Amino acid sequence: MVQAGDALARRRFLGFLAASPLAGALFPGGLGSGEAQAADAAATSITAAEQAINVFDLQAVAERTMRPAHLGYLQTGVLDDRTVAANRDGFHKYGFRARRLVDVGTVDLSIELFGQTWASPVALAPVSSQRAFHQDAERPSARAAQRRGALQTISTLTNVSFETLIDDRQAPLWFQLYPTNDPKTARRLVERADAAGAGAIVLTVDLLAGGMRRETQAALARRDAGNCAQCHDRTAGFPDYLRRKAMFDGLDLSRTTALGDPRLTWDYVRQVRSWTKKPVLVKGIMSGQDAEQALTHGADGIVVSNHGGRAEESLVGAIDVLPEVVAAVRKRAPILIDGGFRRGSDVFKALGLGATAVCIGRPYIWGLSAYGQLGVETAMRLIDEELTSAMRQAGVGRVSRISGADVVKL
């Protein structure tokens, strides 16, 4: 495996990253040689979204053109970024069983979640503040999801109103909730999303106690020559920061001082459950025990996630805990997962291990930054194409028929 300190920092990040004292820690787990070579080639050859042969091509363009501080925000993990690497490394622990002479002339990627059909099990994860990556913020992503028939979850910290994005998507969006430290604020957020037509509420619990130090983000922010204070001046305090986020328009934020509260317990899930009749999912689950707790306290679904390696430096990948979460849930609720998904074969493995759907984050933001709506569509298309190929090689014609028998533990 290529290590970041050897080749990845030179190949995948810009020259200023190679000079950074954190260059060897940006992605300690590295990427496979094929992925690194693809990034090398993309740095000089990709000039249009349709030329991309994988999402790493989009990544190379985004890294070359994105502001250092914004790149740091997107790519960072916490501390040494080793959990970011662990998310990727987890996929190398599994293969899939190839089968021959099975009729897979037609492959059906569609799935059903809470009574709604989606064209693919690949969904768009919530990513905050997308104006950092495109002048139109979240709107190109929503329009791309509409074109691809994809499920999309919108962050609490969206730059554009939830109502506008539902108009762009022309279908229900899911709303990701950071509960803040004020139950009144959280309830207003849920009620607004509910009234706008949210398909589900996704309560994020992995940052309630505050995240660990994001060193890569901080290091790259120091290397950004732009005037970051124009957009990020927090001298007026946290409520002023929230007022620049569309979902907080008109709210009394005088007592809102944080996006989470370390005092919250599982009873909070019941509280959120009481605010809406829409499905409630708990995002940030990394153990079978917590999956059981979530369901016991009223959750309708689980999202296995370590926030893309941005929550804790546990060194445990999301795919690593998926089997125990599946065993704990026992088919009582859908299970979504995010964290390190870059290939359709990654998606296939997660589905075989029991996931209902897979959420991608960084790959579609690379596309957004590089080529706007078309870049987001391209990221989804490439992963769908790779998933289709994996299903054909495994002799499986429908997503619903992918099972544990199709996955091999290496």
The segment(s) of the chain belonging to CATH 3.20.20.70 are 111-213+238-409
Other CB atoms closer than 10 Å to residue 226's CB: what's the count? 12
What is the torsional sign of CA 207, 70, 346, 35?
A: negative
Q: How far apart are CA 240 and CA 243, in angstroms?
A: 5
Q: Is the pLDDT of residue 1 over 60?
A: no
Find the catalytic residue in 70, 134, 297, 307. 307
Backbone torsions φ then ψ of 3, nearest 5 degrees: -95, 145
Verify whether residue 92 is a known catalytic residue. Answer: no
For residues 25 and 110, which has the higher predicted lDDT (pLDDT)?
110
Classified as helix, coil or strand, 112 is strand
pLDDT tens-place string over residues 147-157: 999 999 999 99
Helix, strand, coil in percent for the chain, rounding step 5: 50, 10, 40
C-beta separation of 281 from 200 below 8 A: yes
CA-closest candidate to residue 84, choices 309, 307, 284, 361: 309
Q: pTM for the full model?
A: 0.90
Q: What is the pLDDT of residues 188-203, one digit of tens each?
A: 999 999 999 999 999 9
Position 5 scores a pLDDT of 39
Of 381, 366, 377, 380, the closest CA to residue 140 belongs to 377
Q: Band of the pLDDT at 29, cuts 50, 70, 90?
A: very low
Is pLDDT above 50 for 288? yes
Tokens of 16: 């200023």
SS3 for 282-328 is EEEECCHHHHHHHHHCCCCEEEECCHHHCCCCCCCCHHHHHHHHHHH
pLDDT confidence band for 243 (50 / 70 / 90) = confident
Confidence of residue 13 (pLDDT cuts 50, 70, 90): very low
Query: Cα–Cα distance between 376 and 353 in angstroms, integer?
Result: 27
Share of the chain above pLDDT 90, in %: 81
The reported pLDDT for the residue numbered 225 is: 82
Choose among 370, 365, 341, 371: nearest CA to 353.
341
Q: What is the mean pLDDT of residues 357-372?
A: 98
pLDDT for the residue 4: 39
The 10s digit of each residue's pLDDT in 96-140 is 999 999 999 999 999 999 999 999 999 999 999 999 999 999 999
**Topology (CATH level 3) of domain 111-213+238-409:** TIM Barrel (3.20.20)
Question: Worst-scoring range by mean pLDDT, 223-232, 308-317, 323-332?
Answer: 223-232
CA distance 118 to 249: 31
Report, as an integer, the average pLDDT of 227-234.
67
Phi, then psi, of 276 in degrees rounded to 5: -150, 155
On the question of pLDDT at 287 being above 60, the answer is yes
Q: Which residue has the higher pLDDT, 35 or 244?
A: 244
> Is-contact 321 306, C-beta < 8 A?
no
